Chains A and B, each alone.
Chain A
Amino acid sequence: MSEYTVIGKPALRKDSHDKVTGSAQFCADITLTGMLHGAVLRSKVPHGIIKSIDVSAAKEAEGVRAVVTGEEVPYRLGRSIMDQTFLAIDKVRHEGEPIALVAADTLEQAYAAVRMIKVDIEPLPAVNDVLEAMKPESALVHDRLEDYWHVDTIRPVNGTNIYDHFTLRKGDVDKAFAEADVIVENEYDCAILHHAAIENHLAIAKVDGSGKITVWSPAQSPYYIRGELSRALKVPENKIRVIVPPIGGGFGGKLEARAEQLAIALAMKTHGRPVKVAFSREEDFLAGTVRAGVHFKMRTAARKDGKILAVESTNWWDSGAYSTISPTVTLKANVILAGPYEVDNVKMDGYCVATNKQLGTAQRGFGVAEASYAHEQQMDAVAKALGMDPYELRMKNVMVDGCKGHTGEKMFAVGIKECLKEAAEGLGWEGHPTSWITEDGKIRGRGLGTFMKFTGTPSYTSATIKLNFDGSAVVSYSTTELGQGVGIVIPQIVAEELGIPLELISTVQVDTDHTPLDKTTTSSRATYHLGNATIKAAEDARRQICQWVAFKWKTPVERIEFKKGGIIVQLDEQGKPTGKQARMDELAKNGLIKNGEPILGYGSYETTNIWHKPDPETYQTERLTAMWFFGANAAEVEIDPDTAKIRVVKVVAAHDIGKTLNPLGCLQQVEGGVIMGIGNTLLEEFIHRDGYLMNGNMVDFKIPTSMDSDVEIEMRLIESSPHPEGPYGAKGIGEPAMCATQSAVASAVAHALGVPVVHVPIKGEHILAACRKRLEEANDR
Chain B
Amino acid sequence: MFKKEINIMVNNEHYVREVAVNRTLLEFLREDLGLTGAKEGCNEGECGACTVLVDGKPVNSCLMLAVEADGSYILTIEGLAKGDLLHPLQQAFIDEGAVQCGFCTPGMIMTAKAILDEYGNPSEKEIRKLMEGNLCRCTGYTRVIKTVKKTAEALAAK
- Range, interface on chain B: 35 or more
Distance to closest chain B CB from A424 (angstroms): 22
List of A residues within 8 angstroms of B39 by Cβ:
26, 28, 198-199, 248
Q: Roughly how many angstroms separate A234 CA and B119 CA in the complex, as a whole number?
A: 60
User: Most A CB atoms within 10 A — which of B81, B95, B139?
Assistant: B139
Most buried by B among A13, A20, A667, A698: A20
Structural contact, B103 and A198, CB atoms closer than 8 A: yes
For B127, list chain A residues within 8 Å (CB).
706
**B135 contacts A705, CB within 8 Å?**
yes
B43 interfacial contact with A, CB 8 Å: yes
Q: Is A705 within 8 A of B102, CB to CB? A: no
Q: Residue B41 contacts which of A200, A484, A705, A711 (CB distance < 8 angstroms)? A: A200
Do A668 and B128 contact each other (CB < 8 Å), given the known contacts A246-B102, A697-B44? no
* Known contacts A26-B39, A671-B143, A698-B47; is-contact A197 B137 (Cβ 8 Å): yes
Say yes or no: A21 contacts B142, CB within 8 Å. no
| Complex interface: stretch among B2-10, B63-71, B104-112, B150-158 | B104-112
- Structural contact, A249 and B145, CB atoms closer than 8 A: no
Is there contact, CB below 8 Å, between A704 and B140? yes
B120-156 toward A: CB 8 Å interface, digit per residue (1/0)?
0000010111011111111111111100000000000
Given known contacts A15-B102, A199-B39, A199-B101, A706 and B134 CB-to-CB distance under 8 angstroms: yes
Answer whether residue A158 sits at the interface, using C-beta atoms and an 8 A cutoff: no
Stretch in contact with the other chain, from A346-354, A672-680, A756-764: A672-680
Is B78 at the interface (CB under 8 A from chain A)? yes
Contacts of B74 in A (CB 8 A): none
| A508 contacts the other chain (CB 8 A) | no
Q: Which residues of B contact A21 (CB under 8 A)?
A: 37, 77-78, 80-81, 86, 90
Report whether B43 and A280 are in contact in the complex, using a CB–CB cutoff of 8 Å.
yes
Known interface pairs A698-B44, A698-B46. Does A196 touch B137 (Cβ–Cβ under 8 Å)? yes
Nearest residue (CB) in A for B46 is A698
Q: Is A179 an interface residue (CB 8 A)?
A: no
Contacting pair A20 B90 (CB below 8 A): yes
Please judge, given known A-B contacts A21-B86, A22-B106, whether A673 and B140 are in contact too, CB under 8 Å: yes
Are A198 and B41 CB-contacts (below 8 A) given A15-B102, A19-B105, A20-B109?
yes
Question: In the complex, what residue of chain B is closest to A709 when comparing beta carbons?
Answer: B141
Closest partner residue, chain B, to A712 (CB atom): B142
- What residue of chain A has the Cβ atom nearest to residue B129's Cβ? A707
**Is A482 in the interface zone, CB < 8 Å from B?**
yes
Cβ B36 vs Cβ A22 within 8 A: yes
The verdict on B25 contacting chain A, using a C-beta distance below 8 Å, is no
* Contact, CB under 8 Å: B36 / A20: no
A15 CB contacts on chain B under 8 angstroms: 99, 102
If A198-B39, A697-B44 touch, whether A20 touches B86 (CB-CB below 8 Å) is yes
A253: nearest residue on chain B (CB-CB)?
Answer: B137
Query: Contacts of A484 on B, CB cut-off 8 Å?
Result: 100
In the complex the two chains form, is A248's CB within 8 Å of B128's CB?
Answer: no
- Whether, in the assembled complex, A172 has its beta carbon less than 8 Å from a beta carbon of chain B, the answer is no
State whether A281 touches B42 (Cβ < 8 A).
yes
Give the complex CA separation of A667 and B30 in angstroms. 34
CB–CB B139/A28 < 8 A: no
Chain A residues within an 8 Å CB radius of B100? 483-485, 668, 672
- Is there contact, CB below 8 Å, between B95 and A20? no
B80 to chain A, nearest CB (A): 8
- Measured between beta carbons, the chain A residues less than 8 angstroms from B47 are 198, 281, 698
Decide if A56 is an interface residue (CB 8 Å cutoff): no
Distance of A342 from chain B, by nearest CB (Å): 33
Judged by a CB distance under 8 angstroms, whether B76 is at the interface is yes
Contacts of A250 in B (CB 8 A): 101
B53 part of interface (Cβ distance < 8 Å): no
Looking at chain A's contact residues, is the secondary structure mostly helix, strand, loop, or mixed? loop
Would you call A709 and B145 a contact (CB within 8 A)?
yes
Does A775 touch B at the CB level, under 8 Å? no
Closest to A670 in B: B140
User: What distance in Å separates the Cβ of B113 from its nearest Cβ neighbour in chain A?
Assistant: 12
Report yes or no: A281 in contact with B94, Cβ–Cβ below 8 A.
Answer: no
Closest to B105 in A: A19
Q: Is the CB–CB distance between B131 and A12 below 8 Å?
A: no
A710 at the interface (CB under 8 A from B): yes
Partner of B101, one of A12, A483, A673: A483
Question: Shortest CB–CB separation between residue A695 and chain B, in angstroms?
Answer: 12
Contact between chains at A28 and B101 (CB < 8 Å): no
Contact bitstring A94-110, B, C-beta under 8 A = 1, else 0: 00000000000000100
Report A251-294 CB contacts with B as 1/0, cut-off 8 Å.
10000000000000000000000000000110000000000000
User: Could you tell me if B143 and A29 are in contact, using CB atoms closer than 8 angstroms?
Assistant: no
Assembled-state Cα–Cα distance A485/B138 (Å): 11
Check B140 against A672 for contact (C-beta < 8 Å). Answer: yes
| A24 close to chain B: CB less than 8 A | yes
Query: A198 near B132 (CB under 8 angstroms)?
Result: no
Question: Residue A779 at the B interface, CB < 8 A?
Answer: no
Residue interface mask B44-70, A partner, CB < 8 A = 1:
101101000000000000000000000
Q: In the complex, are the beta carbons of B42 and A703 less than 8 A apart?
A: no
B138–A16 CB distance below 8 A: no
User: In this assembly, does A247 line the interface, its C-beta being within 8 Å of a C-beta of chain B?
Assistant: yes
- Give chain B nearest CB distance to A483 CB in angstroms: 3
Cβ contact within 8 Å between A698 and B140: no
Enumerate chain B residues within 8 angstroms of A699, measured Cβ to Cβ: 44, 46
> If the complex has contacts A280-B43, A709-B141, are A22 and B38 also in contact, measured as CB distance less than 8 A?
yes
For the complex, is A582 an interface residue (Cβ under 8 Å from B)?
Answer: no
Indicate if the CB atoms of B101 and A706 lie closer than 8 Å.
no
Interface centre among B36, B38, B86, B102 (most CB of A within 10 A): B102
Tell me if B104 and A198 are in contact (CB < 8 A).
yes
| Separation of A390 and B80 alpha carbons in the complex (Å) | 53
Q: Residue A675 contacts which of B30, B90, B102, B140 (CB distance < 8 angstroms)?
A: B140
A609 on interface, CB distance cutoff 8 Å = no
CB-nearest residue of chain A to B141: A709
- Which A residue sits closest to B23, measured CB to CB? A108
CB pair A705–B132 under 8 Å, yes or no, is yes
Distance in Å from the Cβ of B1 to the closest Cβ of chain A? 8
Chain B interface (Cβ < 8 Å from any Cβ of A): 1, 30, 35-44, 46-47, 49, 76-78, 80-81, 86, 90-91, 93-95, 97, 99-106, 109, 125, 127-129, 131-145
Can you list 9 contacts pairing A with B, beta carbon distance less than 8 Å?
Answer: A20-B105, A20-B106, A198-B49, A199-B39, A200-B41, A281-B42, A281-B44, A281-B46, A281-B47
Sorted nearest first, the 8 A-B pairs with minimum C-beta distance are: A22-B37, A675-B140, A19-B102, A248-B103, A483-B101, A483-B100, A22-B77, A29-B36
Binding site for B on A (CB under 8 A): 12-13, 15-26, 28-29, 108, 195-200, 246-251, 280-281, 482-485, 664, 667-668, 671-676, 697-699, 703-707, 709-711, 713
- Additional A-B contact list (15), CB under 8 Å, known A197-B101, A248-B39, A675-B140: A22-B38, A22-B76, A23-B37, A108-B1, A246-B102, A247-B101, A482-B101, A484-B100, A671-B143, A675-B139, A698-B135, A703-B137, A706-B144, A709-B145, A713-B142
